[in-house]
Amino acid sequence: MATYTHPENLNWKADNRQGYTRLARLDHIARLCPPLSLEALRIAIPESKSAKNPETYLNLVSLLREIDASNELAKLDVEWMERKTKENQKETERLDQELRGYKNNLIKESIRMGQEDLATHFLSMSDFESSQKAFQKMREYCTTPKHIAEMTVKLMYASIASTQWMIVQSHCAKLRMSSIKEEDKEKFLPAIEACSGLAHMGVEDYHSAAQHFIMVNPTFTSNEVVAGINFPKAVLTGNDVAVYGGLCALASMGRDDLRTKVLENPDFRTFLELESHVRRAISLFCDGKYSQCLATLESYRNDYLLDVYLSDHINDLYQRIRSKSIIQYFIPFSHVTLAALAAAFPRSGHTNTSVETMEQELEEMISSGLLNARIDTVDQLLVAPPKDTRAEAHRDVLETAREVEHQLRLKLHKINMFHANLELLNPKAAKGLKSGMGGMNPWESESKMGYSADI
């Protein structure tokens, strides 16, 4: 359950969306945030009646009945549901009949468009499985690379709506490899990178997700329709790109990468301007102000819990960022008191963290291999492993000696190849070498100069 702390960002949650995504986000907010449940359902229920899926309307009304059964919107409109179900069935039969007619006429373009109309109809009914099957049947009737690319975009959108992240990644890879014209591919790429980032985040591959999000071109926010789909409104907005990309980068990248690839990236900086607190949190982390970075993120935790895509990952992302902060904080020291760590890294909702809680957290980090240290329970210290500088110096010297020996052996091998006449020379270089030696054969000249091939 989340408490919405920044109501001015409500547009970021749902009001700036359209289609299935808008209803899905409103439903998600209504289920997780009691203070906003009635408001979200007040918006969602009438809009669900303008859609084609009676099941969505039924689920929203059932949720409202659990919250406020006396609300006038809680009364189920059975007549509308029956009428809409019949309309959907009638429309499906009509489109299917038209498609059969096109197939009898053997006109590929008409068959492709008929298949697309049927798939789009299923998509508007939130029947994502049937929609994907219908879109896939379009492939054999696509006559140009652009037709195939547009079909793949729509398959990608249907897969996102049904949260099939591995399939989304597959479609994104196909779009990158497509042979469409460069000017057309430039229109596709921002949406491809944004959806790739979303798909990798969905399978908890945060580093890959961050890499894709920071590659999204700022033209993504121009609301340009790609293959009939307005991705900034139908899937994720520029604000989403900033938040998802910023959090995934914080959780998976080092300080140098955060500074060079995120903060100094002119394209991604455009998105960060939309969510200044994310940019501020990254800057604080890069400057070593870890407690302030975590405090900034914690103030937005409840907001992120209301995001339909981010909510399942926010606790994991925050824990990874916290663990990274503790590790970076500890690097300069040989030992730190547990009390100092507890004061520097308070838990969510607390001004301070108990020493016992911090000790338990450190134990988990050490056990998982994240932190190379040991805990002194007597003196309540976190101690860095002792370093044997003498042994490290010996290892460095031996490694340098091995490298020098390896390079010398390579040079000796090259000289042996040269003397054995097994090295191929550039004809021009060989001619210059011969003329420089007064017409002597290069192999003879070396023997006269005292070189021996037996090394």
Task: Give 31-64 pLDDT, tens digit per residue.
Answer: 888 888 888 888 888 888 888 888 888 989 998 8
Which tokens in the block code for residue 159? 């897969």
- Name the residue with tokens 């904080």: 329
Residues 318 and 337 in one domain: no
Residues 251 and 370 in one domain: no
Number of domain units in the chain: 3
pTM above 0.75, yes or no: yes
Quick check: is 323 in a domain? yes
Quick check: is 170 in a domain? yes
Q: How many helices, marked H, and strands, marked E, lie in the chain?
A: 24, 3
Using an 8 Å Cβ cutoff, are 30 and 306 in contact?
no
Residues 271 and 341 in one domain: no
Using an 8 Å Cβ cutoff, are 137 and 113 in contact?
no
Rounded Cα distance, 350 and 32, in Å: 22
User: What is the model's pLDDT at position 407?
Assistant: 93
Task: Write the pLDDT tens digit of every residue in 391-442.
Answer: 778 888 999 999 999 999 999 988 888 888 887 666 665 555 455 545 444 4
Quick check: is 219 in a domain? yes
Identity at 377, one-letter amino acid code: T
Residues 209 and 229 in one domain: yes
User: What is the model's pLDDT at position 6?
Assistant: 45
Which tokens in the block code for residue 108? 């590929």
R_g (Cα) of the chain, nearest Å: 32
Residues 298 and 230 in one domain: yes
Quick check: is 79 in a domain? no
Residues 309 and 200 in one domain: yes
Burial code of 104-125, b = ≥16 C-beta within 10 A, e = fewer? eeeeeebbbbbbbebbbbbbbb
Among 94-108, 188-202, 236-250, 343-357, the range scoring the smallest mean pLDDT is: 343-357
Rounded Cα distance, 229 and 116, in Å: 13
Has residue 295 got a pLDDT over 80? Answer: yes
> What average pLDDT score do residues 352-375 get?
82
Has residue 309 got a pLDDT over 70? Answer: yes
Question: What is the three-class DSSP state of 338?
Answer: helix
Quick check: is 63 in a domain? no
The continuous run of DSSP H or E covering 374 comes out as strand 374-376
Quick check: is 115 in a domain? no
CA 373-376-380 angle, 5° bins: 115
> What average pLDDT score do residues 252-281 get?
91
Burial code of 417-453, b = ≥16 C-beta within 10 A, e = fewer? ebbeeeeeeeeeeeeeeeeeeeeeeeeebbeeeeeee
- Domain hosting residue 366, numbered range: 333-383
Q: Which residues contact residue 92 at a Cβ distance below 8 angstroms, ignoring those fewer than 6 apart?
A: 118, 121, 122
- Average pLDDT in the chain: 83
Q: Which residues contact residue 153 at a Cβ distance below 8 angstroms, ignoring those fewer than 6 apart?
A: 171, 175, 188, 191, 226, 227, 229
Between 176 and 223, name the one with better pLDDT: 176
Between 310 and 4, name the one with better pLDDT: 310
Residues 240 and 289 in one domain: yes
User: What is the model's pLDDT at position 450?
Assistant: 43
Residues 442 and 420 in one domain: yes
CA 343-347-352 angle, 5° bins: 35
